């Protein structure tokens, strides 16, 4: 199958989804009102609530939700064949992710830009807040553990990428200081910083950096040393003001994201590569079943609960007009789906030239999981070679892209986890932990560090599936909130209920399969974790069902009046 044909068809479907399905959602399901006074106007404070041009909001939203996850998940899932992976990316983006991200923004805007956790408490039940916090705790713990392993593996496999990645840190700080002090736009400084990073790639190839001497002296593996260093870095950076490192690095990553997409898509067009992977793979008999595990292996890139945190946390506070939610939310989901498409193309058309070679990269699920990120890196290098980029430079470029996205996600993840730890501690009245930022940050770092340091190679095959599961549970919670709100306002919730029901079925099914595997393999740390997540899933199903029943019987009565009262600006504003 010519890769360019697949690329054109998928991008065409994405365009049609945005043109028609998002319009249906905007008009018939979410009923966007251009006259509605958004929280950005009603509570404008120049800090969090700021009416912002929709293109700038889209840029912030997209780079906040896009990261390494839509690269890693599809790179693993093509083990079952490129067709089922691609179908889930396409259908999940159009009919699930777009609905989820778009809806989370709208409901938050209609409720004073409150977070999804607070909305769950108000729209579903007070118990839903606790459910949300627990799910998010496990979600962020797993994603931080997995991404630490991703970065460590890439540093070991591509020592030439270490220097460009390290250079990014002082450059981002410099960009942040320049923007903060000069009060200027970030575009030009971030482009200059990115050019300097890429100028360091040849230098990094000449001066590769490893931790082998340190690991040898300590009697541990290089992987362990890198993981400890990565979490030490995350501990420090998560304590810094966001404008100092996190935000300017996002500006740089935004340009890097666009460049990476351009390199992959143009490489496919120029090289006319053929997809050499089988459409549906003949996997070994002992392989995990693609149904349902495909739908949790590819979470980000099809639908991601993490997006609801961004949608309701920052994006809804910046929306200038409610109608901008369609452009920002739905198109943002399409952007991440495009990144997942690029991952599939790189791992099936760019990495090797023959089916026999591809089968050697994906002989079994364990090997496929272990080599997924490396296959993406080499696949991007192959596609970049079509544009005249040397493969060694292309591989380092791809590694820098993945590491940069993963590091940004970890920085944000540890920061968010600190808030979650403090909120949970406050609920259970552990006030010393709730009020001590250092202690809360240590918990946020030590728990995923312990998981990442566990012996055995299960970071993708096992932890990744658990991450995908908790991510989908978070998406389910957000969709439940949206569905209840839509029902209360006497609109058809079917577009929300279908992806919600599908996610809950796939999630619980996958949890049962994983639990059986953990018990058979005597993994007595992961088995209880699986059980906890399963209980949370059951809890979510019950809470959502009760809330939907209540909303259905009370639809259209007091919901609209209550919503208008809640959103009415106070006299002070």
Tokens of 385: 């070679």
Average pLDDT over residues 6-15: 98
Is a pLDDT exceeding 70 seen at residue 529?
yes
Q: Compute the distance between CA of residue 308 and CA of residue 368 in angstroms, rounded to an integer.
A: 30
Give the SS3 label for residue 52: strand
Q: How far, in Å, CA of 450 to CA of 299, rounded?
A: 24
Distances (CA, A) of 538 to 309, 504, 545: 22, 9, 11
Q: Is the pLDDT of residue 442 over 60?
A: yes
Q: Is residue 554 over pLDDT 90?
A: no
The pLDDT tens digits of the residues spanning 119-130 come to 888 888 888 888
Mean pLDDT within 143-149: 90
- Window from 19-23, 180-184, 515-519, 542-546 with minimum mean pLDDT: 180-184
| Alpha-carbon span 261 to 165, nearest angstrom | 19
Beta-bridge partner residues of 2: 274
Q: What is the DSSP letter of 321?
A: S
The residue among 176 and 567 whose pLDDT is bigger is 176
Q: What is the pLDDT of residue 572?
A: 41
Given a cut of 60, whether residue 570 has pLDDT beyond it is no
In the predicted structure, residue 178 carries a pLDDT above the cut 80? yes
Element spanning 128, H or E: helix 127-157
Burial of 61-97, coded b for 16+ CB within 10 Å and e otherwise, reads bbbbbbbbbbbbbbbbbbbbbbbbbbebbbbbbbbbb
Q: Mean per-residue pLDDT for 77-95? A: 98
pLDDT recorded at residue 416: 82
Give 354's DSSP letter.
S
346-367: average pLDDT = 95
**Helix (H/G/I), strand (E/B), else coil: 249:** helix
Residue pointed to by tokens 């728990």: 447
Contact (CB, 8 A) for 89 and 301: yes
Of 81-90, 184-193, 507-516, the poorest mean pLDDT is in: 184-193
Q: What is the biggest distance separating any 2 CA atoms in the chain, rounded to whole angstroms? A: 71
Per-residue model confidence (pLDDT) at position 571: 42
Residue 346 has pLDDT above 80, yes or no: yes
- How far, in Å, CA of 307 to CA of 310, rounded? 5
| Lowest mean pLDDT, pick from 149-158, 204-213, 541-550 | 541-550
pLDDT at 462: 72
Tell me the mean pLDDT in the region 434-453.
Answer: 92
Average pLDDT over residues 373-385: 96
Would you say the C-alpha torsion 245, 248, 253, 256 has a positive or negative sign?
A: negative
Q: Which residues, other chains included, contact 173 with Cβ-Cβ below 8 Å and sequence gap of 6+?
A: 244, 245, 248
Give Cα separations from 494 to 36, 238, 255, 465, 551 (angstroms): 24, 40, 37, 28, 14
Interval 471-485: pLDDT, tens: 998 999 899 999 999
Which is it for the CA torsion 432, 437, 442, 444, positive or negative?
positive
Q: Tokens for 485?
A: 């709100």
What is the per-residue pLDDT for 573? 39
Considering the chain, what is the average pLDDT of its residues?
A: 90
Q: Is the whole-model pTM more than 0.95? A: no
Q: Which pLDDT does position 336 carry in this prediction?
A: 95
| Residues of the chain above pLDDT 70, percent | 96
* Torsion, CA 357, CA 360, CA 362, CA 364, rounded to 10: 160
Average pLDDT over residues 396-413: 90
- Characterize 404-423 residue by residue with b for buried, 16 or more Cβ atoms within 10 angstroms of its Cβ, and e for exposed: bbbbbbbbbbbbbbbebbbb
Q: Which residue's entry shows tokens 């990120």?
A: 373
Q: At residue 448, does pLDDT exceed 50?
A: yes
pLDDT number for residue 386: 97
Domains with residue ranges and CATH for the chain: 3-567 (1.20.1740.10)
Distance CA 114, CA 107 (A): 9
d(CA 565, CA 561): 6
pLDDT digits (tens, 9 = 90+) for 38-72: 999 999 987 678 898 888 788 878 877 887 899 99
Phi and psi angles of residue 274, each rounded to the nearest 5 degrees, phi first: -105, 140
Is pLDDT above 80 for 334?
Answer: yes
What is the per-residue pLDDT across 255-272, written as a single tens digit (0 to 9) for each?
Answer: 999 999 999 999 999 999
Q: What is the pLDDT of residue 456?
A: 61
- Looking at the predicted structure, is the pLDDT value of residue 242 above 80? no
- 440-450 average pLDDT score: 94
- Asked if 69 and 143 count as a contact pair (C-beta separation under 8 A), the reply is yes
User: Residue 11's pLDDT band (boundaries 50, 70, 90)?
Assistant: very high
Of 467, 519, 487, 479, nearest to 503 (Cα)?
479
The vertex-243 CA angle with 43 and 39, nearest 5°, equals 15
For tokens 């010393």, the residue is 432
Closest CA to 167 of 252, 235, 264: 252
For residues 176-180, average pLDDT: 86
Which of 79-93, 233-247, 295-309, 357-371 bottoms out in mean pLDDT, i.e. has the lowest?
Answer: 233-247
Between CA 124 and CA 104 the distance in angstroms is: 14
């Amino acid at each position: 199958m010519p890769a360019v044909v697949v690329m054109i068809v998928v991008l065409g479907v994405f365009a049609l989804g945005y043109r028609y399905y998002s319009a249906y959602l905007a008009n018939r399901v979410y009923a966007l009102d251009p006259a509605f006074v958004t929280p950005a106007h009603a509570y404008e404070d120049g800090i969090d609530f700021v009416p912002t041009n929709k293109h700038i909001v889209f840029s912030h939203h997209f780079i906040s939700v896009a990261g390494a996850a839509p690269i890693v998940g599809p790179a693993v899932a093509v083990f079952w064949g490129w067709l089922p992976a691609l179908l889930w990316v396409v259908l999940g983006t159009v009919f699930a992710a777009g609905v989820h991200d778009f809806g989370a923004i709208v409901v938050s805007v209609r409720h004073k830009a409150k977070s999804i956790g607070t909305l769950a408490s108000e729209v579903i039940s007070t118990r839903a807040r606790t459910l949300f916090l627990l799910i998010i705790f496990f979600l962020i713990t797993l994603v931080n553990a997995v991404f630490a392993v991703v970065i460590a593996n890439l540093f070991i496999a591509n020592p030439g990428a270490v220097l460009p990645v390290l250079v990014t840190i002082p450059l981002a700080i410099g960009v942040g200081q320049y923007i903060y002090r000069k009060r200027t736009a970030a575009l030009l400084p971030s482009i200059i910083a990115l050019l300097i990073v890429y100028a360091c790639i040849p230098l990094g190839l000449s001066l590769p950096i490893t931790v082998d001497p340190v690991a040898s002296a300590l009697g541990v593996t290089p992987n362990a040393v890198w993981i400890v260093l990565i979490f030490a870095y995350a501990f420090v950076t998560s304590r810094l003001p966001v404008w100092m490192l996190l935000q300017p690095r996002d500006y740089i990553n935004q340009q890097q994201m666009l460049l990476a997409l351009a390199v992959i898509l143009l490489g496919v067009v120029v090289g006319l590569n053929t997809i050499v992977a089988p459409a549906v793979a003949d996997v070994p008999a002992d392989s995990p079943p693609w149904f349902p595990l495909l739908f949790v292996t590819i979470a980000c890139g099809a639908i991601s609960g993490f997006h609801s945190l961004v949608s309701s946390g920052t994006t809804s506070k910046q929306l200038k007009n409610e109608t901008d939610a369609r452009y920002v939310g739905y198109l943002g989901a399409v952007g991440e789906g495009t990144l997942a498409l690029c991952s599939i193309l790189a791992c099936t058309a760019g990495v090797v030239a023959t089916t026999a070679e591809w089968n050697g990269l994906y002989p079994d699920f364990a090997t496929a999981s272990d080599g997924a990120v490396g296959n993406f890196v080499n696949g991007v290098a192959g596609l970049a070679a079509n544009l005249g980029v040397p493969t060694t430079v292309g591989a380092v470029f791809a590694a820098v892209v993945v590491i940069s996205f993963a590091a940004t996600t970890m920085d944000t993840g540890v920061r968010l986890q600190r808030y979650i730890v403090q909120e949970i501690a406050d609920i259970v009245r552990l006030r010393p932990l709730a009020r001590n930022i250092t202690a809360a940050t240590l918990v946020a770092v030590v728990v995923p560090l312990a998981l990442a340091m566990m012996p055995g190679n299960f970071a993708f095959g096992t932890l990744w599936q658990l991450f995908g599961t908790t991510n989908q549970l978070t998406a389910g919670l957000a969709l439940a909130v949206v569905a209840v709100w839509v029902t209360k306002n006497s609109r058809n919730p079917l577009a929300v209920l279908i992806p919600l029901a599908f996610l809950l079925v796939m999630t619980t099914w996958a949890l049962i399969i994983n639990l059986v595997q953990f018990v058979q393999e005597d993994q007595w740390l992961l088995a209880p974790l699986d059980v906890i997540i399963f209980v949370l899933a059951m809890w979510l199903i019950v809470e959502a069902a009760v809330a939907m029943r209540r909303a259905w019987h009370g639809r259209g009565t007091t919901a609209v009046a209550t919503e208008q009262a809640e959103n009415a600006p106070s006299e002070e504003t």
